[in-house]
Amino acid sequence: MLPRFASAIVFTLTLSMTGLAQDWNPVTVDLLKSEKSGYGGLCGVVVHPPTGDLIINLSDRGLFRSKDQGATWQRLGTVELKGRTETPLCMMIDPLEHKRLVSAFVYGSPIIFSSDLGETWKPISSQSTHVDWCAIDWNDPESNFILTLKHESGDALLASRDGGKSFDEIGKGYGPAWIFDGQTAVVAEAKSKTITQPGLLRTTDSGKSFQRCGDDYARALPRFKSGTLFWLTTTGLISSADQGQSWKKLSELKDGICGPVFGKDAQHMFVLTSGGIRESKDGGTTWLSAIALPAGMKGANLLSWVEYDSVHDIVYVMKMSSELYQWRRVGK
């Protein structure tokens, strides 16, 4: 028999491990059975920060919303959107006011803009079909400056300066990007035979020219919160509070795939890694033990998404073609 203090330690550790390994709850089982989606099935998810509402994309079936944490789903819009989302953040909600939604599609519709979170939408130029993601100027109601990456086209970066009416090709060898205003943006270089040490580039003339602004290699799209851009790189998490002019190393967190996604402020964040979901409550300086991924997801890759509902304290995770899984803390 264990001494009393040892039993208390075991009990405490058991509670802690239970919290980390708590079962995930799939919340799209019935929806995926009823909707005959195209290749990829469930392929994207975002959370509306003020309400915790979920918006998902089903391949070739369009957008669906849940106002009750995945218990029920309603179709958004009156027309099915062809194609699918793939890259995390290719479907995103305005990080400034949370009123608009934009989404890029592979093998289907052009990029769509919505001013009512998907109830209605406006497609832009057909030149924006078959793309991986898009970045827009959220400060501009007309979203005149747009960057997008052509799918399976040598990492070709396209730019629009007229709200998506037309696009020019900037060149090949580019990766994810973020737009700060109508002239200023940052974009990562893609690794290739000719670019063996990719870094970060910055433009102040709407993509007409770029200057190197960092030596980090980033494959995930960056995230913006409270005036700061956060970017997962192969060497850790970095941030910039001056529109990409300088970068601060926040953490040497390895194997970051998607994120960070935030709580009520930039101090509370979650990052999806190959080893599970990590949580930080001090802006990425330290991290709690990993939350193990759901067994049914069979690991994570660059087409895996993580989201967080700070209203109800719920973490969501998925991989293209998996269920959408929901994780609540013990006792919630």
Q: CATH number, domain at 314?
A: 2.130.10.10
Q: Distance of alpha carbon 306 from its chain centroid, rounded? A: 7
For residue 242, tell me if it sits in a domain: yes
Per-residue pLDDT of the chain (332 residues; tens, 9 = 90+): 444 444 444 433 433 333 444 589 999 999 999 999 999 999 999 999 999 999 999 999 999 999 999 999 999 987 778 999 999 999 999 999 999 999 999 999 999 999 999 999 999 999 999 999 999 999 999 999 999 999 999 999 999 999 999 999 999 999 999 999 999 999 999 999 999 999 999 999 999 999 999 999 999 999 999 999 999 999 999 999 999 999 999 999 989 999 999 999 999 999 999 999 999 999 999 999 999 999 999 999 999 999 999 999 999 999 999 999 999 987 65
For residue 37, tell me if it sits in a domain: yes
Cα-based distances in Å from 215 to 34, 61, 82, 197, 221? 47, 40, 38, 8, 16
211 is written with which tokens?
A: 């200057």
Helices (H), the chain: 4-21, 29-34
For residue 54, tell me if it sits in a domain: yes
pLDDT tens-digit series, residues 189-199 = 999 999 999 99
Q: How many domains does the chain have?
A: 1
The 3 state secondary structure assigned to 223-239 is EEECCEEEEEECCEEEE
Name the strand (E) or helix (H) holding 315.
Answer: strand 314-319
pLDDT tens-digit series, residues 280-303 = 999 999 999 999 999 999 999 999
For residue 2, tell me if it sits in a domain: no
Nearest to 263 by CA among 324, 202, 307: 307
For residue 205, tell me if it sits in a domain: yes
Q: Distance of alpha carbon 206 from its chain centroid, rounded? A: 23
Distance, in Å, from the CA atom of 54 to the CA atom of 324, rounded to the nearest integer, reads 10
Structural domain span for residue 102: 23-328
166 is written with which tokens?
A: 């037309």
129 is written with which tokens?
A: 């079909």
For residue 4, tell me if it sits in a domain: no
Q: What is the pTM of this model?
A: 0.92
For residue 253, tell me if it sits in a domain: yes
What size, in residues, is the chain?
332
For residue 1, tell me if it sits in a domain: no
Per-residue burial over 181-203, b if 16 or more Cβ lie within 10 Å, else e, is eebbbbbbbbbeeebeebebbbb
